[in-house]
Amino acid sequence: MNGKNHVLAEPAAAIGTDQVIQSGLQFHQQGAFDKAARLYEKVLKKEPGNLAALNFLADARLREGKPARAVQTAQKALKLKGDMPGTLFILGNALSAMGRHAEAARQLEEAIRLKPDYADAYLSLGNAYRELGEGGKSLAAYEKLSDLSPDFAEARFNLANAYRREGLLEEAADEYAETLRLDPRMAVAHSNLAGTLSKLNRPEAALDHAQKALALDPVLSTAYVNAGNALKTLGDLTAAEAQYRHALEHADEDASTHGLLATSLQGQGRFEEAFAEYAHARKLDPRSDLILGDLSTAQLAAGHLGEGWDNHEARFKAGTNIGNRDFPGVPRWNGEPLDGKTILVWKEQGIGDDIRYISCLPDLLAAKPENATCRVETDPRLIKLYARSFPGAIIEGIGANDAAEDIDYQIPMGSLARLYRRSLDAFPATPGYLVPDPERRQELRAWVDGLGEGLKVGFAWRSGNMGEGRSVHYTQIEDWAELLALKGIELVNLQYGAVESELKRAEEKTGRVIHQAELDLFNDLDGAAALTASLDLVISAGTSVADMAGAVGTPTFIYAPAFHPMMLGTDHLPWYPAMQAFARKWNEPMAQVVEKITAALTARL
Please write the tens of the pLDDT for every residue from 239-270: 999 999 999 999 999 999 999 999 999 999 99
Burial of 340 (0-12, 13-18, 19+ CB in 10 A): exposed
- Counting residues of the chain whose pLDDT is more than 70, the rounded percentage is 96
Burial of 136 (0-12, 13-18, 19+ CB in 10 A): exposed
Give the pLDDT confidence score for residue 286 in this predicted structure.
96
CATH 1.25.40.10 domain position(s) in the chain: 1-81
Give the pLDDT confidence score for residue 3 in this predicted structure.
37
Mean pLDDT, range 422-427, rounded to an integer = 97
pLDDT for residue 595 is more than 70: yes
Give the pLDDT confidence score for residue 14 in this predicted structure.
44
> CB of 486 within 8 A of CB of 604?
no
Give the pLDDT confidence score for residue 469 in this predicted structure.
62
More confident of the two residues 535 and 8: 535
Give the pLDDT confidence score for residue 1 in this predicted structure.
34
C-alpha dist (Å) from residue 226 to 41, 247, 586: 48, 10, 19
Give the pLDDT confidence score for residue 468 in this predicted structure.
61
> CB of 40 within 8 A of CB of 52?
no
Residue 539 DSSP code: E
Domain at 1-81: CATH code: 1.25.40.10
pLDDT for residue 375 is more than 60: yes
**pLDDT category of residue 467 using cuts at 50, 70 and 90:** low
Burial of 14 (0-12, 13-18, 19+ CB in 10 A): exposed
**pLDDT category of residue 319 using cuts at 50, 70 and 90:** low
Strands 489-493 and 455-460 come out as: parallel
Separation of alpha carbons 437 and 446, rounded Å: 14
Nearest to 432 by CA among 332, 334, 547, 352: 547
Separation of alpha carbons 315 and 306, rounded Å: 16
Residue 320 DSSP code: S
> CB of 538 within 8 A of CB of 549?
yes
Give the pLDDT confidence score for residue 466 in this predicted structure.
60
Quickly list DSSP for 39-53: HHHHHHHH-TT-HHH
For the CA atoms of 505, 509, 513, 514, the dihedral, rounded to the nearest 10 degrees, stands at: -50
Q: At how many degrees (to 10) do helices 85-97 and 51-63 cross?
A: 30
Give the pLDDT confidence score for residue 473 in this predicted structure.
84
Residues 66-95 have pLDDT tens digits of 999 999 999 999 999 999 999 999 999 999
Give the pLDDT confidence score for residue 603 in this predicted structure.
96
Q: How many helices (H) and strands (E) does the chain have?
A: 28, 9
CATH number among 3.40.50.2000, 3.40.920.10, 1.10.10.60, 3.40.50.800, domain 438-604: 3.40.50.2000
Question: Which range is least confidently modeled, 284-298, 305-319, 387-401?
Answer: 305-319
C-alpha dist (Å) from residue 35 to 32, 72, 221, 591, 596: 6, 19, 36, 71, 77
pLDDT for residue 464 is more than 70: yes
More confident of the two residues 470 and 415: 415
Kindly report the pTM of this predicted structure.
0.84
Mean pLDDT, range 44-58, rounded to an integer = 91
CATH 3.40.50.2000 domain position(s) in the chain: 438-604
Separation of alpha carbons 21 and 51, rounded Å: 11
> Left, alpha or beta for 503 (phi > 0: left; psi -120 to 50: alpha)?
alpha
Three-state DSSP state, 395: strand
Give the pLDDT confidence score for residue 11 in this predicted structure.
36
> CB of 426 within 8 A of CB of 420?
yes
> CB of 528 within 8 A of CB of 497?
no
**pLDDT category of residue 597 using cuts at 50, 70 and 90:** very high
pLDDT for residue 234 is more than 60: yes
Give the pLDDT confidence score for residue 5 in this predicted structure.
32
Q: Which residues contact 568 (CB under 8 A, 6 or more apart)?
A: 300, 301, 303, 305, 424, 574
Separation of alpha carbons 288 and 269, rounded Å: 23
Give the pLDDT confidence score for residue 321 in this predicted structure.
57
pLDDT for residue 314 is more than 70: yes
| Topology of domain 342-422, CATH | Rossmann fold (3.40.50)
> CB of 222 within 8 A of CB of 191?
yes
Separation of alpha carbons 550 and 572, rounded Å: 12
Residue 455 DSSP code: E
Give the pLDDT confidence score for residue 276 in this predicted structure.
98
User: What average pLDDT is seen over the chain?
Assistant: 93
pLDDT for residue 28 is more than 80: yes
pLDDT for residue 431 is more than 50: yes
